Amino acid sequence: MSKMRVLVTGAGGLIGYESVRFFLEKGAIVVGIDNNMRRYFFGPGGDTTANIEYLGSLGGNFANTSSDIRDRAGMMDLFRDKGPFDLVIHTAAQPSHDWAAREPFTDFDVNAVGTLNLLEAYRKYSPEGVFILCSTNKVYGDKPNMVELVEEEKRFSYGVCQKMAGVSLEGINEEMSIDACTHSLFGASKAAGDILAQEYGRYFGLNTGAFRGGCLTGPQHSAVELHGYLAYIIDCAIKRKKYTIFGYKGKQVRDQIHSYDVVTAFYEFYKNPGKGAVYNIGGCRENSVSILETVEILEKKYGLKVEYDYNDKHRIGDHLCYYSDMSRFRKDYPGWKITVGLDKIFDGIVEDRTRKA
């Protein structure tokens, strides 16, 4: 019986790294694509070199290529020469609202055109496999800000009587509209990739799934100010570097899900895939936390004081409150569950950053 073959784009990033490790442990042959564009986006703090080097040390079943997903012919060659792949996990992306506005063509070429290149290569050379796109909750734009919110002392929460489809006390679900709202250029380019992944499933009958992530996190996150909020604020606290809160009184809420739980969800989908499926994925209400609550947790539990400035101008397209309602995924995959709670997420990042300081 031949070994499972997996392709992971963005192999040195948070979810890519976790995916490579997970499937190597399953005995798979894993091909990575990572050309360290995160360093280009964010400077030395975004460098993924150490992650790729560590993955390379795990044995002969992993090989990384520094190919560029924007290279259409190169992607066709890779799928033809290295495939066919049983599973493609596409995590490579330009992930920042603010950065996208600096270089709109680069952002769109990576997030939308790169996704199209991969989908077409997958359709041609691995059509029996499964394609998973690591999408984002930013495809909903700022539509979640239009729902009924309750302002509490240190956070915003969802109100009881919602008049808009796609929201409940449990969070945002997949019925939330992506129309008539502000996305940022990043949100728009990711929405294009998201819809393409759906279309390759629905139109061509391929096994595709788009997972719209909340805050995906973990110790391996190469976090920077423009992306990776939780790991970055912990970095700032440990290094005594001033953090900046952008708007919303610091009461903006995000749900946190550990990278391991993201990848186990991918694995469940791989075993029983859909065609053009869409799922929200995140820590849900129980693993949600605001910036002010984060500051409090770090000081009270870990003795880490966060020095911060407040900028009353929020980032364009940013959410006041977002936590994922995963009812659809849990109904389709009842064997999956979150295994790393918010306390363990904090513990893991604090321990890792303290050790490296």
Domains and CATH numbers, the chain: 5-356 (3.40.50.720)
Give the helix/strand (H/E) hosting 156: strand 156-158
pLDDT, tens digit only, all 357 positions of the chain: 689 999 999 999 999 999 999 999 999 999 999 999 999 999 998 899 999 999 999 988 999 999 999 999 999 999 999 999 999 999 999 999 889 999 999 999 999 999 999 999 999 999 999 999 999 999 999 999 999 999 999 999 998 877 889 999 899 999 999 999 999 999 999 999 999 999 999 999 999 999 999 999 988 877 667 677 898 999 999 999 999 999 999 999 999 999 999 999 999 999 999 999 999 999 999 999 999 999 999 999 999 999 999 999 988 878 999 999 999 999 999 999 999 999 999 999 999 999 987
What pLDDT, on a 0 to 100 scale, did the predictor assign at position 223?
Answer: 67
For 134-147, the pLDDT digits (tens) are: 999 999 999 999 99
Residues 6+ apart with CB under 8 A from 264: 22, 336, 339
Q: How far, in Å, CA of 325 to CA of 170, rounded?
A: 5
Tokens of 304: 């880490």
Q: How far, in Å, CA of 333 to CA of 268, rounded?
A: 7
* Three-class SS state of 181: coil
- pTM of the full structure: 0.95
Inter-residue contact 92 to 34 (CB < 8 Å):
yes
Question: Measuring CA to CA, how many Å separate 36 from each of 87, 214, 222?
Answer: 22, 23, 11
For the chain, the helix, strand and coil percentages under 3-state DSSP, each to the nearest 5 = 45, 20, 35
What pLDDT, on a 0 to 100 scale, did the predictor assign at position 146?
Answer: 94
Residues 6+ apart with CB under 8 A from 165: 175, 176, 177
For 102-143, the pLDDT digits (tens) are: 999 999 999 999 999 999 999 999 999 999 999 999 999 999
* Per-residue burial over 27-66, b = 16 or more CB atoms within 10 Å of its CB, e = otherwise: ebbbbbbbbbbbbebbeebbbbeebbeebeeeeebbebee
| Pairing relationship of beta strands 253-258 and 288-290 according to DSSP bridges | antiparallel
Residues 6+ apart with CB under 8 A from 147: 158, 159, 162, 164, 167
What 3 state SS string does 258-296 have? EHHHHHHHHHHHHHCCCEEEEEEECCCHHHEEEHHHHHH
β-bridge partners, 243? 308
The full DSSP string for 213-252 is ESEEE-TT---BTTB-HHHHHHHHHHHT--EEEESGGG--
What pLDDT, on a 0 to 100 scale, did the predictor assign at position 50?
Answer: 93
Inter-residue contact 350 to 221 (CB < 8 Å):
no
Q: How far, in Å, CA of 184 to CA of 189, rounded?
A: 9
β-bridge partners, 31? 7, 63
